Amino acid sequence: MGLKLTRILKGGFGYVGADGSGRAKIVARNATHGWARLAGELKDVSRPYMLAERRWDSPITADLARRSVSSWLDHAKADAGLRATATGLRGFFLADPEELSLIALIDQFSESDAPAPGGMYRIEGGNDRLGSALADPLGDRLHLNTDVVALSHRGKVVRVSVEEQPRPGANQLRLRDPRPAGDAAAPHPDYAGAARAAATRRSCA
């Protein structure tokens, strides 16, 4: 796509925690070791999820989703270091361990053997260039500022209905909902199936 990457955070990243007096301090300048520990501790509880092929519609996933990260840390008798690593991820998941579902953590750490990559990069000119690079080849087939009111899926075709008129069938779909919670369009009854089928072909952006 002609995008150039620039290396960032060459020394890794860390997180800030409170010391014994309550003052903020940098806990670790390189959090990779903490991530590796967390991944190791999650292996046993992640195994059923991996056997279920990481399917979010399985009973195993539903059971894991009911547990919080905090309750898992208690059950695992996690030490202060492990708890600090989990708490340090609040900015990554936008949730505290008490509120974050365990399945979110498991899914992140089951993607590969190295959830914290050794090298991190950004796109020169800004990450919005990625969306532009994906959109450019579509030309006038890409419709912006269009409200989707229904989705349906049959075979290899996902049909999208918009507020003005039904859209032609397509074999790819990218979803982004800018509306506040509670103001989303009413989905077709088969919305979940259609969305999963679309996401299988291309992750939603």
What is the per-residue pLDDT across 73-127, written as a single tens digit (0 to 9) for each?
A: 999 999 988 888 888 788 778 888 889 999 999 998 887 544 555 567 889 989 8
From the list 169, 147, 141, 158, the residue with the least C-alpha distance to 198 is 158
| Mean per-residue pLDDT over the chain, rounded | 76
The pair of three-digit structure tokens given for residue 138, joined into one six-digit string:
């579509």
Taking the C-alpha atoms of residue 47 and residue 123, their distance in angstroms, rounded to an integer, is: 35
Helix, strand or coil, per DSSP, at residue 40: helix
Residues with Cβ within 8 Å of 176's Cβ and at least 6 positions away in sequence, in order, are: 204, 205
Farthest-apart Cα atoms in the chain, separation: 63
Cβ-in-10-Å burial (0-12, 13-18, 19+) of 89 comes to buried
Confidence of residue 204 (pLDDT cuts 50, 70, 90): very low
The pair of three-digit structure tokens given for residue 198, joined into one six-digit string:
């679309």
User: What pLDDT is attached to residue 168?
Assistant: 55
Range with lowest mean pLDDT among 51-55, 116-120, 184-188: 184-188
CA distances to 42, 46, 128 from 35, rounded to whole Å, are 11, 15, 28
Taking the C-alpha atoms of residue 61 and residue 48, their distance in angstroms, rounded to an integer, is: 9
User: What pLDDT is attached to residue 182?
Assistant: 46
**Chain center to CA of 16:** 23
Q: Which residues pair with 7 in a beta bridge?
A: 121
Range with lowest mean pLDDT among 45-54, 84-93, 94-103, 158-167: 158-167
Query: In this structure, are residues 159 and 152 in contact, taking their beta carbons and an 8 Å threshold?
Result: yes
User: What pLDDT is attached to residue 47?
Assistant: 92
pTM, two decimal places? 0.49
Domain map (residue ranges) of the chain: 32-115, 143-201
Confidence of residue 184 (pLDDT cuts 50, 70, 90): very low
Torsion on CA atoms 171, 177, 182, 187, rounded to nearest 10: -10
User: What pLDDT is attached to residue 161?
Assistant: 85
Fold of 32-115: Guanine Nucleotide Dissociation Inhibitor; domain 1 (1.10.405)
User: What pLDDT is attached to residue 20?
Assistant: 74
User: What pLDDT is attached to residue 42?
Assistant: 92
Query: In this structure, are residues 41 and 82 in contact, taking their beta carbons and an 8 Å threshold?
Result: yes
